[in-house]
Structures are given as C-alpha cells and as structure tokens.
Amino acid sequence: MPVIKHTLPLAAPAALLLCTTAAFAQPVAPGCDNPADGFSAVIPCYRAELANAPLDYHFVGNETLTDVVLTHYRLKSQSWSPAGMVLPAEWFHNVDIYIPENPLTRRAVVFINNGTNKPAAGKPPGVPSDMTPDKLASLARNTRTIIVSVSDVPNQLLTYTDDQRARAEDDSVAHSWSLFMKAPDALPRMSLHVPMAAAVSQVMSLAERELWQWKVDKFIVSGLSKRGWATWLTAIADERVEAIAPFVMDLLGIQSSLTHMYHSYGDNWPMAFNPYYQEGIDTRVETREFASLLQIEDPLAYQQTEYGERLSIPKYIINASGDDFYVPDNSRFYFDSLPGVKSLRYAPNTGHAGIRNYAEQSLTTFVKRIQQGSALPEVTSAVQNGQLNVAFSETPASIKMWQAVNPEARDFRFACDITYQPSSLPVSDKLNLMLPSQEKGWQATFVEATSSDGYVATTPVYITPDDKFPTVAPPDKAPACKTLPGRGLGS
C-alpha cells in the first residue's frame, strides 16, 4: 500500500481537522545543544527538532485478539547519521497499539521493544522478543490500559563508515561512544542512545494522534537493558512521560558504578562488558571525554540541570540479582539520591536476559497502581553495626530474605552458578536482621516484600564483607562467567 505522511489524525472528528504536526512541536532555542554549554541538552534539543518536522508514518492494518484490538503502524522516526558516519540513516519501526475493551483514558504505556530489521545478508529479520504480542495483549487486558509497543530500538544492523563494520546492540552502543569521545564537540549526537530516546518520543507523538478518542497525552514508559536506559533518557527529555519502569539498567552514577564493578572483580571486567572493552571504553572511565559523554548518558548527571525535576516522576527500577553486566550492589550509587516516588526490585536467580521473565508481572502491578493513583510500596533500609534495618511503607502480604554465598570471589553472576536461597520472614512493618560476617568469601543479601496485589519491592542488595575486595579475577566456571583483564581506568 502507498506510504502516507500523516499530518492529521486518522478518522479525526471535524473539530480536530486543523490539528497539524505543529500542535506537538517543541520550541528549539538558538544554539540549543551548543557543546560550549555542556551536553545535557543534546537529547531534548534533538527531540524538539524532530517534533518540528512532519511525522512520517502509515497505517498497516488491524486484527482482533481476545478482548483486545491490535492496530499496526509503520513509522520512520528519524534520519540519524552524525557527519554521515552511520548507514542506513533512516530508522524504521513497527508500532503496535493494543487497545483493550473499555480502556482507561488519558494515559498509555509505551514499551520499547528490540528486534533486528536490517539483518546481515542471508539472515532473516529478528522479531521483537523483550515482550511478545501475547504478553503485551495480556498487559493491556489486565490493566485496562492501551499498550504501545515500538520495535527495533535501536535499528540494526548499523554500518559505521569509519571501519565499514555492521554492528548491533552493545557493539553498536560501544562504537558510538568511542566515536563521540574522539570528537565530542563535533559529534554531540553520536551516542546511539540519542536516537533511541528520540525514537520513543516520536512514537508518543504517533500515539497521541491516533489515540485522540481516549485523550491520551501522558505515558508510562518501559524497556529492558539498553531500552531501559532509553527509558530514563526519554523521561528526562520528554514531559509527556509520567512514570517509568526501567529493567536491568543498574548503572546510574555511571563512573562510580563502573569503578565499583572493576574493583569487585579484582580490577577486571565481566565478560558481558566485552563490546566496551574492545572499544577501549574501560581505559577512558576517568577521562575528560568520558565525563562529557556522561552528561548525556547518566540520568544522575541531569540532577543539577534544568531537567533535574524530571527525575522525580514515579519509577519502578527492576534489576537482576545475578546480572551478567552489573554487580548486584550498584544501586548504592544512585537509589537513595533519586528524588520523588520510587521503588526497587531485585529479581533472584536470574541474569541480564532472564529479566524478561519478570517483565509482564512487574509491569502489571506497577501500571495498575499508577492508573489507580495508588502509592507505590516503599522499602527503606540501612546497615548499622552489622544489622540490616528494614521498614515497609505498607504491611506486606509476605516477606522473604534472599541470600547467596560465594566462597571464592565477590562475584554473584547467575552465569557462574551462584544461586540465592530464600527464607521466609514474619510479616511486620519493620525488621532487624543480622548480616553474617563471612570468614571466607562474600555473601549477598536482600529482603523482598510482596504486597497483596502482587507488587514486589525489595531492599538493595547488601554484600558482606562490604569493605573487602578481591585482588585476583574470579575463577572461570563457564564461558559467560569469564572476566577480561583490567588495564586501568585512564586519566
């Protein structure tokens, strides 16, 4: 079917026939993302620039599922190729909108999905797998909320013209970071997370236009891994985002978190970090260029900018206790300093990719609470003199303590066969628990509270002894359990 560049809502009532792209446009200040003023405005400025151009998308078709109408659109979100260094420049996405019976109005969920829409020769496209259509439809039904799923964030494979290599996922992110750090002032929009966040804003503009019947103009945004990262950056740049649920992006306070990871592995890096290692990112953690990059990448870096208040929106941060990338106690560098409504969940006995198994359930309870205007359960905790003191804002239906022991290393990756064992605790508004002092190795502990509606909130993960770090790499137990030799953090 022919491509139509929409500037009007489909099937718009007469009163809306004068609505154009300009209705969603954002003013762009002169020199908006001038590097001389720092890099915090890069994503907001790029988003505003795209919002001032016609929105390029077309209707593909619809189908009826059980109690859900699913409508398909095709969106060209942008043309992104800083200095002509990335091909193809055009980004395309499938946008699928799940509308349940009698949906709640005004607010929708945007789920940032993965996919490979530009595969290598002879390979089929990769369909989105972070949340499948069945799970997205179930989320819509169970929350009475319109769900908008966008595929292929980022578009991939992307070929970088400096070496003609086609890249995907972390290989693409890492190379974009490397190129940015070679010339930050000349390439301020070079990081792949910039177009990723901008694509989500374009999807929200599409959704506003197509969902006018339900007066949708606010969004809950969620995604996994680098799409969880894009969730944070979209929320900072776009005021239409009312709440977020980022999964396995356990790296806010990036410089401190990376340094802590490095020391936790005996001044080495986890194997999952290999794409960044190959680009030499590990040797630039303490450099001026990396600090410039973090003005764009690190959500905490926006606290002292004009966008800082955006960090106060409700947020449900879901992490993996056995993540392949991040050590489980990284939240110490960011969770307490985040303003506003927040809750944290560490999922036991899962790695980075395994968090998919927790996405639907976590989002269902979170979205219901946001839609109902209900408070999120808050778990506050602190360690004093070897005792973990925990308090709950609402009395849980059940409480568990999860603990894992590694006698050889400060390494709790699920890929290394480290498992957390649960023990039930008496239901109470407060708990005081002694953390054991390990004579050999390390122990990880967190407390999990499940509310009557199924909402799960946890404490951060506490590692004991906390002041002891290994001096050698962890033992290699499996291919995904290996480490990469440290070579300093740069200066």
Segment 36-94, tens digit of pLDDT: 789 999 999 999 999 999 999 999 999 999 999 999 999 999 999 999 999 999 999 99
pLDDT at 28: 52
Sheet of 379-384, strands arranged across? 379-384, 387-392, 430-434
Q: Which long-range contacts (CB under 8 A, 24 or more apart) does 174-179 make?
A: 174/275, 174/276, 174/278, 174/279, 174/281, 175/279, 176/86, 177/276, 177/279, 177/281, 177/293, 178/279, 178/280, 178/281, 179/85
Nearest C-alpha neighbor of 159 from the set 92, 226, 88: 88
Angle, helix 226-237 to helix 42-51, in steps of 10 degrees: 70
Give the span between the Cα atoms of 414 and 168, in whole angstroms. 24
- Which pLDDT belongs to residue 320? 99
Residue 17 pLDDT > 50: no
Backbone angles phi, psi at 90, to 5 degrees: -75, 135
The per-residue pLDDT for range 435-455, each reduced to its tens digit, is 988 889 999 999 999 999 999
Q: Which structure tokens are listed for 373?
A: 């205007």
H-state helical runs in 16-104: 42-51
Torsion of CA 355, 431, 336, 256, to 10 degrees: -70
d(CA 283, CA 45): 30
Measured distance CA(373)–CA(346) in Å, rounded: 24
Q: Is 253 left (phi over 0), alpha (psi -120 to 50) or beta?
A: left
* Mean pLDDT to the nearest integer, 231-260: 99
- Whether residue 14 is predicted with pLDDT greater than 50 in this model: the reply is no
Q: Which pLDDT does position 25 carry in this prediction?
A: 47
Residue 390 CA from chain centroid, whole number: 27
- Domains of the chain from N-terminus onward: 43-379 (3.40.50.1820), 381-485 (2.60.40)
What pLDDT, on a 0 to 100 scale, did the predictor assign at position 35?
Answer: 75
Instruction: Specify the pLDDT at position 36.
Output: 75
Query: Which DSSP string corresponds to 110-164?
Result: EEE---BSSPPTT-PPBPP-SS-HHHHHHHHHHHT-EEEEE--SS-S-EEETTTT
Q: Identify the residue with better confidence: 4 or 412.
A: 412
Residue pLDDT, tens place only, 337-359: 999 999 999 999 999 999 999 99
User: For residue 490, what pLDDT is reported?
Assistant: 94
Residue 24 scores a pLDDT above 70:
no
* Confidence grade of residue 8 (pLDDT, cut at 50, 70, 90): very low
Please check the confidence at residue 158 and state whether its pLDDT lies above 60.
yes
Instruction: State the Cα–Cα distance between residues 19 and 202, nearest whole angstrom.
Output: 17
Cα separations in angstroms, 370 against 267, 413, 448 = 42, 32, 21
pLDDT level of residue 33 (50, 70, 90 thresholds):
confident
Mean pLDDT of the chain: 94
The identity of residue 432, as a single letter, is: N
What does the alpha-carbon distance between residue 490 and residue 17 come to, in Å, rounded to a whole number? Answer: 57
Predicted local distance difference test score (pLDDT) of residue 438: 80
Say what the pLDDT of residue 244 is. Answer: 99
Position 277 pLDDT exceeds 70: yes
In this structure, which amino acid lies at residue 16? L
Q: How many CB atoms lie within 10 A of CB 58?
A: 16
Residue 18 phi/psi, 5-degree rounding, is: -90, 0
Q: Is a pLDDT exceeding 80 seen at residue 404?
A: yes
Q: What are phi and psi of 484, to 5 degrees?
A: -110, 135
Mean pLDDT of the 347-372 span: 98
Q: Which of 411, 243, 453, 260 is nearest to 342 (CA)?
A: 243
Three-state SS for 230?
Answer: helix
106 closest CA partner among 315, 376, 373: 373
Query: Exposed e or buried b for every residue in 250-266, given b needs 16+ CB within 10 A?
Result: bbbbbbbbbebbbbbbb
- In this predicted structure, the answer to whether residue 176 has a pLDDT above a threshold of 80 is yes
49: left (phi over 0), alpha (psi -120 to 50) or beta: alpha
How much of the chain, in percent, has pLDDT values that exceed 90?
91
What is the pLDDT, as a whole number, of residue 247?
99
**Confidence band (pLDDT; 50, 70, 90) for 135?**
very high
